[in-house]
């Protein structure tokens, strides 16, 4: 659950004086970091840059002494993330490790530590650790927001307690297994599968696509909805399946316009939305209503289940997909 317990660990950071946040991670941890970029900028008014750890190492990073550098890793041993952290430490900047395995190199080396507290995750696909990373990152953002007086202490505590009851609604998603299996069959039959979304749904598209491709080995893409017409829409035809994420928020109408564009090319559509609008698509997946800030957590769950059911349907090993290791300790 969302808790404020680890906050004391970080109380020495003066968020009002932080000029920017840099987030460095790989794979699913990177996708969680990208959600945090949207959250930090919207709710704590702090600019964020985010890098794959390998690219952070590859480029000439201009370090900012007033910046905070957040390294996200389930295993705490990913070589690129660890090497990037070592580089940042040499530059004497503030580092935070958001780590699940507390007996790990990254956990030991970071100035501040946020335990992900997902428990041991043995399957190669990051699932519960991804959700737990989002929860911890959300808590961090709200804590920074409170410290900067953007939200008050009482609204901070109120939000945390509301979130805990909201998150119980996730169980509603787990009870619609029949629909998940139906959509998984459509995924298997498609020539290609493309996730589209905007704003904080874009990193959830990246995560949904990563989970689906690593477990099913199908050709899967994730595209920021506004980018479709800049090239990727050429992939779309009547054999494509588009999975659109459209919570009813400020960018809802724009996302629906993108859905219309791919529909016009004959693609079949899976639409995940909490809107009650009458939308004509092949597969409408009704999501529970939740505060928009929590939508990344909510929309992740069905995507993980699509990946799981698709992989099962194809007879893949859902815990040990081919060519992958749980912890990537080589370059
Ligand atoms: O242990 P880490 O979080 O540093 O691992 C990073 C990636 O290798 C990892 O998230 C990978 O993308 C997942 N296994 C995908 O499900």
Q: Residues 124-138: pLDDT tens digits?
A: 899 999 999 999 999
Which residues, in sequence order, are CB contacts of 16 under 8 Å at separation 6+? 147, 148
State if residue 184 touches ligand 1 by the CB under 6 angstroms criterion.
no
In CATH, 8-153 is 3.90.950.20: no
Asked if residue 2 has pLDDT above 50, the reply is no
Distance 68 CA to ligand 1 centre (A): 22
Pick from 35-39, 65-69, 174-178: least confident: 174-178
Q: What are phi and psi of 221, to 5 degrees?
A: -130, 160
ipTM of the shown complex: 0.98
**8-153 matches 173-313 in fold:** yes
For residue 170, is pLDDT > 90? no
Distance 28 CA to ligand 1 centre (A): 5
From 70, 78, 206, 320, mutation site for ligand 1 pocket: most ligand atoms within 8 A of C-beta: 78
> Residue 106 region, left (φ>0) first, then alpha (ψ -120 to 50), else beta?
alpha
State the Cα angle at 282 between 281 and 288, rounded to 5°. Answer: 70
- DSSP 8-state assignment for residue 288: P
Does the pLDDT value for residue 1 go beyond 50? no
Domain extents in the chain: 8-153, 173-313
Is 327's C-beta closer than 6 angstroms to any atom of ligand 1? yes
Rounded to whole angstroms, how far apart are CA atoms 14 and 17? Answer: 6
Q: Is the pLDDT of residue 5 over 50?
A: no
DSSP E strands, the chain:
20-25, 48-52, 67-73, 94-99, 112-115, 192-197, 220-224, 240-245, 268-273, 283-286
**9 pLDDT exceeds 90?**
no
Which superfamily is assigned to 173-313 in CATH? Glucose-6-phosphate isomerase like protein; domain 1 (3.40.50.10490)
- The percentage of residues in the chain with a pLDDT greater than 70, rounded to a whole number, is 97
Contact between 99 and 294 under an 8 Å Cβ cutoff? The reply is no
For ligand 1, say whether the CB of 270 is within 6 Å of any of its atoms.
Answer: no
Query: Please, what is the angle between helix 27-39 and helix 128-147, to 10°?
Result: 30
Is residue 3 helix, strand or coil?
coil
What is this structure's pTM? 0.94
26, 51, 133: which to mutate for ligand 1, most atoms within 8 A of CB?
26
Query: Average of pLDDT values for 174-195?
Result: 92
Cβ(254)–Cβ(204) below 8 Å: no
User: For the residues 192-221, what does the mean pLDDT come to?
Assistant: 97
Q: What is the pLDDT of residues 286-314, one digit of tens each?
A: 999 999 999 999 999 999 999 999 999 99
118 Cβ closer than 6 Å to some ligand 1 atom: no
Distance 196 CA to ligand 1 centre (A): 22
Q: What is the mean pLDDT of the chain?
A: 93
DSSP 3-state assignment of 191? coil
Residue 321 CB neighbour total at 10 angstroms: 17
pLDDT digits (tens, 9 = 90+) for 241-284: 999 999 999 999 999 999 999 999 999 999 999 999 999 999 99
- The stretch 66-72 carries a mean pLDDT of 98
Q: Is the CB of 28 under 6 A from ligand 1?
A: yes
In terms of pLDDT, which residue wins out, 203 or 120?
A: 203
Residue 166 pLDDT > 70 = yes
């Amino acid at each position: 659950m969302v808790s404020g317990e680890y906050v004391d660990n970080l109380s020495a950071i003066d968020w009002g004086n932080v000029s920017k946040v840099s987030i460095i991670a790989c794979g699913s941890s990177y996708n969680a970091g990208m959600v945090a970029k949207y959250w930090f900028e919207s709710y704590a008014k702090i600019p964020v840059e985010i890098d794959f750890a390998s690219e952070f190492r590859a480029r000439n990073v201009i370090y900012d002494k007033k910046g905070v550098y957040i390294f996200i890793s389930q295993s705490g041993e990913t070589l690129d993330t660890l090497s990037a952290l070592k580089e940042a430490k040499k530059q004497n900047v503030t580092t935070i490790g958001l780590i699940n395995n507390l007996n790990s190199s990254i956990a030991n080396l970071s100035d501040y530590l946020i335990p992900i507290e997902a428990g041991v995750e043995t399957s190669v696909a990051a699932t519960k650790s991804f959700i737990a990373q989002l929860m911890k990152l959300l808590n961090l953002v709200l804590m920074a927001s409170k410290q900067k007086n953007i939200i008050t202490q009482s609204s901070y505590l109120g939000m945390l307690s509301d979130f805990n009851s909201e998150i119980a609604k996730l169980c509603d998603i787990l009870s619609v297994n029949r629909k998940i299996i139906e959509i998984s069959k459509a995924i298997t039959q498609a020539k290609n599968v493309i996730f589209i979304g905007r704003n904080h749904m874009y990193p959830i598209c990246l995560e949904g696509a990563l989970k689906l491709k690593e477990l099913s080995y199908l050709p899967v893409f994730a595209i920021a909805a506004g980018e479709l017409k800049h090239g990727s829409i050429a992939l779309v035809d009547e054999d494509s399946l588009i999975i659109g994420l459209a919570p009813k928020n400020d960018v809802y109408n724009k996302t629906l316009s993108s859905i219309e564009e791919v529909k016009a090319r004959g693609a079949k559509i899976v639409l995940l939305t909490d809107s009650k609008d009458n939308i004509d698509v092949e597969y409408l997946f009704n999501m529970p209503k939740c505060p928009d800030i929590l939508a990344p957590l909510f929309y992740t769950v069905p995507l993980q289940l699509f990946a799981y059911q698709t992989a099962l349907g194809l007879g893949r090993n859902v815990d040990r997909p081919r060519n992958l290791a749980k912890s990537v300790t080589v370059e």
